[in-house]
Structure 1
Amino acid sequence: MNIFDPQGPVAAAEKTLLIDSVAIMLAIIIPTIIAILIFAFWYRASNTRAERLPNFAYSGRIEMVVWSIPALTIILLGGVAWIGSHQLDPGNPVPGTGAPIRIQVVSLDWKWLFLYPDQRIATVNHLTVPVGSPLHLELTSGSVMTAFFIPQLGSMIYTMNGMVTRLDLRADEAGTFKGLASQFSGDGFPEMMFDTHVVSQVAFGDWAQSAAKSTDVLDETAYKTLAEQSIEKTPKTYRLDDPELFGKIATQKIAPAPGPQMTENEAKPESGARNVR
Structure 2
Amino acid sequence: MALPASFAVAALWLSGCAENGVMTPSGPIAAAEKSHMIWFFLWMLPVCLPILIGLPWICIKYRRKGGKGAYRPNWSHSTMAETLIWGGSTLTVILLGVLIWINTIGEDPYKHTGANPIKVQVVGSEWKWMFIYPGKMATVNKVVLPQHTPVEFDITAAGAMQSFWIPRLAGQIYAMPGMQTKMNMTTGDLAKLEGFNSQFNGAAFPLDKFEVDVVSKQDYESFLQSPRQPWNDLLTEFKKVATWNGPQIFDAPPKGWWDKASMDPSMVTNGGAAILDDHDPEQKSIDEAIHSELHLSQNKPQGDAQ
SS in 1 for 2:171: coil
TM-aligned CA deviation for residue 176 of structure 1: 0.6
Q: What's 1:67 paired with?
A: 86
Aligned pair count reads 261
> 1:149, 1:156 within 8 Å by CA — same for their partners in 2?
yes
Contact 1:144 1:161 in 2 (8 A): yes
**Distance in 1 between the 2:187 and 2:83 partners?**
48
* Alpha-carbon distance change, 95 to 227 in structure 1, aligned in 2, over 3 angstroms: same
Q: Which residue of 2 aligns with 1:262?
A: 276
Match of 2:109 among 90, 96, 104: 90
Higher helix share: 2
Which residue matches 1:125?
A: 141
* Unaligned stretches of 5+ residues in structure 1: 270-277
**Conservation of the 8 A alpha-carbon contact between 1:148 and 1:156:** yes
RMSD across aligned C-alpha pairs, in angstroms? 2.5
Change (3 A) 1:222 1:33: closer
Counterpart Cα distance in 2 of 1:268 and 1:36: 49
TM-score of the aligned structures, taking structure 2 as reference length: 0.77
1:50-104 deviation per Cα after TM superposition (whole angstroms, max 9, x unaligned): 65432122233332222111111111122222222222211111127xx521000
The alpha-carbon deviation at position 268 of structure 1 amounts to: 9.8
Query: Would you say the 8 A contact 1:188–1:266 is kept in 2?
Result: no
Aligned ranges for residues 13-162 of structure 1 at < 5 Å?
13-39=32-58, 52-95=71-114, 99-118=116-135, 120-162=136-178
Amino acid at match of 1:153: L
Residue 197 of structure 2, aligned match among 162, 166, 181: 181
CA offset digits 1:137-189 (Å, max 9, x no partner): 00001222111111111110111101110000111111110111111222122
Q: Work out the percentage of aligned pairs sharing the same amino acid.
A: 29
Question: What secondary structure is seen at the aligned counterpart in 1 of 2:196?
Answer: strand
Q: Say whether residues 1:246 and 2:258 are aligned partners.
A: yes
2:30 to 11, 16, 33: 11
Whole-angstrom CA distance in 2 between matches of 1:222 and 1:198: 24
> Against the structure 1 CA distance between its residues 25 and 53, is the aligned structure 2 distance closer, same or farther, given a 3 Å change threshold?
same
Structure 1 CA distance, aligned partners of 2:187 and 2:27? 5
Equivalent residue letter for 1:217: P
Give the TM-score normalised by structure 1: 0.85
Q: 1:46 to 1:185 in 2, by over 3 A?
A: closer
